[in-house]
């Protein structure tokens, strides 16, 4: 090998020796990045778990919930034959809409009879007023007659003492005076009776007399019963279970005929477990999702918490004093008011719902360390 070849070979041979350190230098940062990544994964996981833990107790949810609407039993306040029906099953109505009519002919006759009785009572009171005036006139005449007979008796006694009048004339004068006195008493009693018949107020208006007032009350009652022959919707809602209600049917007073589901009064009854009630309070915000309308949440607010569990107010409450008691988690009804309009009857009353109440308070970090919870 020549000297030139040796010189040329020297750099080539030395090239790998200088390249090796250049490729080994980046290995340390890669290891650091790998180590940092391996350490960051547990940190992220722990942070996520801590976040879920701290916010996990903020919301209380239940699927044991239902939509509720007020149901009004429609009935007639009077008995009679139905002559007109203006609604059908599942028909929407507004407050004041006509539902049905009962035959009003008997009640119109009752109104006419009551009007005649009122007119007769007024006539009787007028007659009582006339009778009172007559009694007062008789009493005045009787009093004047008594005064005259008293004067005549005194005159006859004076004449008899002078020997001018006879004994017979004196006896007649005494007799007439006694008769006038008795007639005066009877006349005064007639005035008292006529005054009592007028209620002690002879100058009072005719319509203030008790007999006239009683007749007026009877007329008002007859008119009220006549108005009850027309039955109208008490509120906005949907007619339900009226398929068999037809004209010609006889109804009794107070008997339920069909139902009106009131769409303007809607709420949610959510049955939470007793272990979920620790943080639930009235006024807290909530979110409601109906199974009939999935994916469409509605805003609501806690309105009231039930006074007892469902088992306590059931038809047959459980008796746990027999010795074979097994602890069962009880549920307490919580009422929620919807804060936004719901299209009714797009949602049927009684449909299932899922409720999530925002209690505003999540789990505390002290819950992880119960032994130190009292020192926080």
Domain boundary among 205, 227, 249: 227
238 and 347 fall within a common domain: yes
- Radius of gyration of the chain measured on its C-alpha atoms: 51
274 and 355 fall within a common domain: yes
Q: Are 111 and 222 in contact (CB under 8 A)?
A: yes
pTM of structure: 0.66
Domain boundary among 184, 201, 227: 227
Backbone angles phi, psi at 312, to 5 degrees: -70, -35
78 and 95 fall within a common domain: yes
DSSP label at residue 209? S
pLDDT tens by residue, 275-325: 999 899 999 999 999 998 888 899 999 999 998 887 777 766 766 666 666
120 and 170 fall within a common domain: yes
Would 39 be classed as within a structural domain?
no
Would 149 be classed as within a structural domain?
yes
161 and 253 fall within a common domain: no
Would 26 be classed as within a structural domain?
no
Element containing residue 223 per DSSP (H, E):
helix 210-227
Domain boundary among 172, 196, 227: 227
Q: What is the CATH number of the domain that holds 358?
A: 2.40.30.170
134 and 240 fall within a common domain: no
SS3 255: coil
Kindly give, in sequence order, each residue whose CB lies less than 8 Å from that of residue 156, ignoring residues fewer than 6 positions away.
Answer: 165, 169, 170, 172, 173
Parts of the chain with a pLDDT under 70: 1-27, 49-57, 165, 315-316, 318-325, 343-346, 362-376
Would 70 be classed as within a structural domain?
yes
Confidence (pLDDT) at 313: 74
Cα angle: 290, vertex 288, 56; to 5 degrees: 125
146 and 238 fall within a common domain: no
141 and 260 fall within a common domain: no
205 and 275 fall within a common domain: no
Task: Kindly report the number of other CB atoms within 10 A of residue 232's CB atom.
Answer: 14
Number of structural domains (the chain) is 2
Confidence (pLDDT) at 375: 47
282 and 333 fall within a common domain: yes
Would 124 be classed as within a structural domain?
yes
257 and 200 fall within a common domain: no
| Domain ranges, residue 289 | 59-102+233-318+326-363
Would 353 be classed as within a structural domain?
yes
164 and 265 fall within a common domain: no
Element containing residue 4 per DSSP (H, E):
helix 3-24
């Amino acid at each position: 090998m020549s000297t030139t070849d040796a010189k040329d070979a020297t750099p080539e041979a030395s090239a790998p020796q200088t390249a090796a350190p250049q490729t080994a230098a980046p290995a340390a940062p890669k290891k650091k990045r790998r180590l940092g990544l391996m350490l960051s994964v547990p940190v992220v996981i722990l942070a996520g778990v801590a976040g879920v833990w701290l916010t996990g107790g903020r919301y209380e949810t239940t699927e044991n919930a239902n939509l509720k609407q007020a149901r009004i039993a429609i009935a007639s306040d009077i008995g009679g034959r139905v002559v007109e029906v203006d609604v059908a099953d599942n028909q929407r109505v507004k407050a004041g809409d006509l539902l049905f009519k009962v035959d009003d002919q008997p009640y119109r006759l009752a109104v006419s009879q009551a009007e005649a009785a009122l007119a007769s009572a007024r006539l009787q009171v007028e007659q009582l007023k006339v009778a009172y005036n007559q009694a007062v006139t008789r009493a005045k005449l009787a009093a004047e007659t008594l005064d005259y007979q008293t004067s005549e008796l005194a005159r006859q006694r004076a004449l008899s003492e002078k020997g001018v009048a006879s004994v017979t004339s004196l006896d007649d004068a005494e007799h007439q005076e006694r008769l006038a006195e008795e007639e005066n008493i009877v006349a005064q009693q007639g005035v008292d009776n006529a005054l009592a018949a007028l209620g002690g107020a002879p100058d009072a208006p005719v319509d203030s007399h008790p007999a006239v007032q009683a007749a007026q009350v009877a007329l008002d009652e007859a008119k009220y019963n006549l108005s009850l022959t027309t039955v109208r919707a008490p509120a906005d809602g949907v007619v339900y279970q009226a398929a068999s209600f037809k004209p010609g049917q006889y109804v009794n007073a107070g008997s339920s005929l069909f139902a009106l589901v009131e769409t303007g009064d809607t709420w949610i009854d959510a049955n939470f477990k007793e272990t979920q009630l620790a943080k639930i309070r009235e006024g807290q915000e909530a979110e409601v999702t109906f199974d009939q309308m999935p994916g469409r949440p509605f805003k609501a607010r806690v309105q009231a918490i039930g006074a007892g569990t469902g088992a306590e107010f059931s038809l047959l409450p459980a008796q746990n004093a027999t010795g074979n008691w097994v602890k069962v988690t009880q549920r307490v009804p919580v009422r929620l008011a919807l804060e936004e309009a719901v299209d009714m009857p797009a949602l049927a009353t009684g449909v299932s719902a899922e409720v999530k109440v925002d209690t505003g308070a999540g789990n505390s970090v002290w819950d992880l360390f119960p032994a130190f919870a009292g020192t926080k």
